Amino acid sequence: MIQVEHLTKRYGRFTALEDCCLSVPEGEILGLLGPNGAGKTTLLRLLLGYLRPTSGSATIGGWCCSNHSVQVRRQTTYLPGEVRLFGQMRGREILRFFAEVRPEGNLQRSLKLAERLELALTARVASMSTGMRQKLALVATLAAETPLVILDEPTSNLDPTVRRVVAEIVDEFRQQGRTVLFSSHVLSEVEEVCDRVAFLRAGRLAHVQVMQELKRRHRIQAALSGPLPPPPGELKGELRIRRERPGVFVIETPGELKPLLQWLGTLPLEEINVQSVGLRSLYDRIHDAEPVSAVPPQG
Amino acid sequence: MNRSLLNKSILEGRFLLAACTIALLAFCWTRVWLVSQFEMSRFETVIEQFRDWEHFSPVPFEHLVTYTGRVAMAYDEPILLLCVFLWVIARGSDCVSGEIGRGTMEMLLAQPVSRIQVLWSQATVTLAGLALLALTSWLGLYLGVHTNTIEEPRAPVWTIPWLGWQLPDPLAAEEIVRRPMADKVDMTHLIPAAVNLFSLGFFLAGLSSLLSSCDRYRWRTIGLVVGIYIVQLTIKIVGLASEPLAWLCRFSFFTAYEPARFVSIAVYHPESTWSLILRNEVGDWNGLGPLGYNLILLTMGLAAYLGATLIFHRRDLPAPL
């Protein structure tokens, strides 16, 4: 669905996005993560044809994003991170405008969605609260039945109930086989809805993580009364071991827990704490520039 | 053209257009009413005091002391120009930098509409509104001319009984009669002035759109257009005031805005009302005609609109602040 090849955007000497290569197949929910200024919004704006790339290319559904942006946007619905709507229109007028401006737009669908999100449509946008405006923009965006949905921080300013509904809707999109690009700072949300996560750091695509693999990874914090010996042969290549403080080690495994626990059971354990590796730790590792290679075991 | 975008532009501009239309209609009617209140002979006496300043007048004073000439001067009134320029600058400046500044361009261009559609939907509504305002100015004057009367002195006459012959009566006092102003003003003569107003408005709308297309702040766009307007007006005034600096007038777009002059051409040389160029008695070139000046303004306006389209089509859209 989305094909990004060596995409670069520079503003003078400042590089907002550098040599980004990414491929998103149809039906996938891809999360975009990164701190402010990492290049997430630049990537989205390049995909929508708002910006012209300095080099490289991007296509959506086979259409070039910079030369055929209207065709691209016919297949895409986009919710910007900074939502601003036409202030003098009322909620219903906004939905009618966005339904009419799209060839496949349907006001009834928008109204149903507004009802689902408990959105009042009689007020003028200018007099709506930030959360109400965000909900209105969400309804206008999500009501479009396009193969690709791009959401830039869709749940900012929303209450937990609406956040849950948004997650449900994204899940429905997955079932319908639609592709979703989901940019957010809320890691739990990304973890919940995405199939894959792309991490951007300082304008570069730093890492792409399949969520299914991440969910299998575990981290074990073990306090030993003695030294930690090298792991046995079958575990040696997989484990990442780091000494947290004298006698306390953090061991990460990408695979099955059973062989690791069996090995640890043979050691002089004082305390053990097992938890799954969440997106948080991966995010921190990538953005704190922690080396990715395994720390050698220490006694 | 996209119907939804047109509706949106109409929705955004409707109150301003309604206000400008009402103000223009009221002003034009009032202007004619004021003309009807001053007797022409008194006005002639007043205007004679300014004979030394005649070169600032777009028409000779002899035309200015006719009712048509006085009514036509409404097109040089600041209030009338303000109503029209307020509309074109407000709407023209809004088309790109206004939308970017408010942050609404993001959602707008997330839809399957081209940038050209966005720009030209705005331009269509702006120009339709401008045409309405130009028409309103003429209609306001028309209503004024057809609802007001003027006082006119009439030489007293003495009628010979049975024969019905009328002879001047030198002994009787001059009598004042009221006549409809429409007897003195042929409104078709004022059409070139309204067209000239539209042409100037078209150029300013194009200029505002051009500056808007390369900017991200609407206030800056408006500031630039107003700055250019003031500089151009100053150039024209300086060019008119000083004979050695008369060449400056060629560099002001106000030189192509001569509604009162075009009305005088329509009155005294009706065959040249819509001429591209004017010729003197022997058939030599005598400057551009009303159509020529209008075409200059319309061409510059169109060039500005095309420039705006090109710039907006190619530029990067900054993220909202």
DSSP conformation letters of A69-95: HHHHHHSEEEE-SS----TTSBHHHHH
Collect all residues of chain B within an 8 Å Cβ-Cβ radius of residue A50. Answer: 106, 109, 316-317
First-to-final CA distance of chain B = 29
pLDDT band at B162 (very low <50, low <70, confident <90, very high): confident
Q: Return the C-alpha torsion angle A140, B100, A18, A12, nearest 10.
A: 180
Pairing, β B166-168 against β B157-159: antiparallel
Strands (E) in chain B, as ranges, are: 149-154, 157-159, 166-168, 175-180, 277-279, 285-288
Q: Nearest CA of chain B to the CA of A239: how many Å?
A: 43
Q: What is the pLDDT of residue A292?
A: 37
Q: What is the pLDDT of residue A46?
A: 93
pLDDT band at A294 (very low <50, low <70, confident <90, very high): very low
Cβ of A100 and B3 within 8 Å? yes
The reply to whether A73 touches chain B by the CB within 8 Å rule is yes
Per-residue pLDDT at A218 exceeds 50:
yes
**Segment A276-291 mean pLDDT:** 72
Most confidently modeled range among A115-124, B165-174, B276-285: A115-124
**Segment B220-248 mean pLDDT:** 92
pLDDT band at A297 (very low <50, low <70, confident <90, very high): very low
Q: What is the pLDDT of residue B119?
A: 94
Q: Nearest CA of chain B to the CA of A260: how many Å?
A: 49
The reply to whether A36 touches chain B by the CB within 8 Å rule is no
pLDDT tens-digit profile of A183-203?
888 888 888 888 899 988 888
ipTM for the assembly: 0.77
With CA atoms as reference, report the closest residue to A195 among A173, A162, A164, A218.
Answer: A173
Query: Percentage of residues in chain A with pLDDT exceeding 90?
Result: 24
Q: What is the pLDDT of residue A154?
A: 86
pLDDT tens-digit profile of B50-73?
777 777 777 777 777 788 998 999
Gap between the Cα atoms of A173 and A177, Å rounded: 6
Optimal mutation site among B14, B100, B102, B111, interface A, most CBs of chain A within 10 A? B111
Cβ of B110 and A103 within 8 Å? no
Closest residue in B to A96 (Cα) is B4
Orientation angle between helical segments B191-213 and B259-268, nearest 10 degrees: 150
Cβ of B2 and A101 within 8 Å? yes
The reply to whether A7 touches chain B by the CB within 8 Å rule is no
Per-residue pLDDT at B221 exceeds 90:
yes
pLDDT band at B229 (very low <50, low <70, confident <90, very high): very high
Q: Nearest CA of chain A to the CA of B146: how many Å?
A: 39
**Segment B297-319 mean pLDDT:** 93
Gap between the Cα atoms of B48 and B61, Å rounded: 8
Gap between the Cα atoms of A15 and B104, Å rounded: 26
Per-residue pLDDT at B272 exceeds 70:
yes
The mean pLDDT of chain B is 89
Gap between the Cα atoms of B258 and B283, Å rounded: 23
Q: Nearest CA of chain A to the CA of B23: how many Å?
A: 23
Q: Is the Cβ–Cβ distance between A66 and A52 less than 8 Å?
A: yes
Cβ of A101 and B112 within 8 Å? yes
Superfamily of A2-213 according to CATH: P-loop containing nucleotide triphosphate hydrolases (3.40.50.300)
Query: Percentage of residues in chain B with pLDDT exceeding 90?
Result: 60
What is the three-class DSSP state of B316?
coil
**Segment B243-252 mean pLDDT:** 89
Cβ of B11 and A89 within 8 Å? yes
Greater confidence (A288 vs A125) lies with A125
The mean pLDDT of chain A is 84
Q: In what order do the strands lie in the sheet with A218-224?
A: A240-245, A248-253, A218-224, A269-276
Q: What is the pLDDT of residue B201?
A: 96
Cβ of B110 and A76 within 8 Å? yes
Amino acid at B186: D
Per-residue pLDDT at A296 exceeds 70:
no
pLDDT band at B46 (very low <50, low <70, confident <90, very high): confident
Q: What is the pLDDT of residue B280?
A: 79
**Segment B173-192 mean pLDDT:** 87
Greater confidence (B90 vs A230) lies with B90
Cβ of A88 and B12 within 8 Å? yes
Domain edges within chain A:
2-213, 217-287
Per-residue pLDDT at A276 exceeds 80:
no
Q: What is the pLDDT of residue A164?
A: 87
| Region of poorest pLDDT, from A128-137, B146-155, B193-202, B206-215 | B146-155
CB pairs below 8 Å between A and B: how many? 75
Cβ of B12 and A74 within 8 Å? no
pLDDT band at A228 (very low <50, low <70, confident <90, very high): confident
pLDDT tens-digit profile of A154-172?
888 888 888 888 888 888 8
Collect all residues of chain A within an 8 Å Cβ-Cβ radius of residue B104. Answer: 84-86
Orientation angle between helical segments B78-93 and B218-241, nearest 10 degrees: 140
Q: What is the pLDDT of residue A289?
A: 60
Collect all residues of chain B within an 8 Å Cβ-Cβ radius of residue A48. Answer: 109-110
**Chain B positions touching chain A (beta carbons under 8 Å):** 2-5, 7-8, 11-12, 102-104, 106-107, 109-114, 314, 316-317, 319-320
Neighbours of B132 (CB within 10 A): 17
Greater confidence (B157 vs B113) lies with B113
pLDDT tens-digit profile of B68-84?
998 999 999 999 999 99
Q: Is the Cβ–Cβ distance between B105 and B115 less than 8 Å?
A: no
Cβ of A100 and B113 within 8 Å? no
Collect all residues of chain A within an 8 Å Cβ-Cβ radius of residue B319. Answer: 41, 45, 82
Q: Is the Cβ–Cβ distance between A210 and A42 less than 8 Å?
A: no
Q: Nearest CA of chain B to the CA of A14: how many Å?
A: 15
Q: What is the pLDDT of residue B146?
A: 93
Closest residue in B to A52 (Cα) is B316
Q: What is the pLDDT of residue B174?
A: 74
The reply to whether A90 touches chain B by the CB within 8 Å rule is no
| Region of poorest pLDDT, from A173-182, A239-248, B192-201 | A239-248
Q: Nearest CA of chain A to the CA of B313: how many Å?
A: 10
Neighbours of A227 (CB within 10 A): 11
Closest residue in B to A103 (Cα) is B112
With CA atoms as reference, report the closest residue to A2 among A95, A103, A76.
Answer: A76
With CA atoms as reference, report the closest residue to B319 among A86, A41, A87, A140.
Answer: A41
Beta-carbon contacts of residue A266 (< 8 Å; ≥ 6 apart): none
3-state helix, strand, coil in chain A (%, to 5): 35, 30, 35
Alpha carbon of residue B239 to chain centroid: 21
A202 — phi, psi (to 5°)?
50, 45
Find the helix or strand (DSSP H, E) in which A270 lies: strand A269-276
The reply to whether A137 touches chain B by the CB within 8 Å rule is yes
Q: Is the Cβ–Cβ distance between A87 and A125 less than 8 Å?
A: yes
**Segment B300-309 mean pLDDT:** 96
Q: What is the pLDDT of residue A186?
A: 82
Per-residue pLDDT at B43 exceeds 80:
no
Q: Is the Cβ–Cβ distance between A75 and A148 less than 8 Å?
A: yes
Q: Return the C-alpha torsion angle A159, A161, A162, A164, nearest 10.
A: 120
Amino acid at B36: S
Closest residue in B to A94 (Cα) is B8
Closest residue in B to A89 (Cα) is B11
Greater confidence (A150 vs B43) lies with A150
Optimal mutation site among B109, B216, B310, interface A, most CBs of chain A within 10 A? B109
pLDDT tens-digit profile of A19-63?
888 999 999 999 998 888 888 889 999 999 999 999 999 999 889
Amino acid at A85: L
Collect all residues of chain A within an 8 Å Cβ-Cβ radius of residue B314. Answer: 52
The reply to whether A103 touches chain B by the CB within 8 Å rule is yes
Cβ of B102 and A84 within 8 Å? yes
Q: What is the pLDDT of residue B186?
A: 92
Q: What is the pLDDT of residue A104?
A: 84
What is the three-class DSSP state of A114?
helix
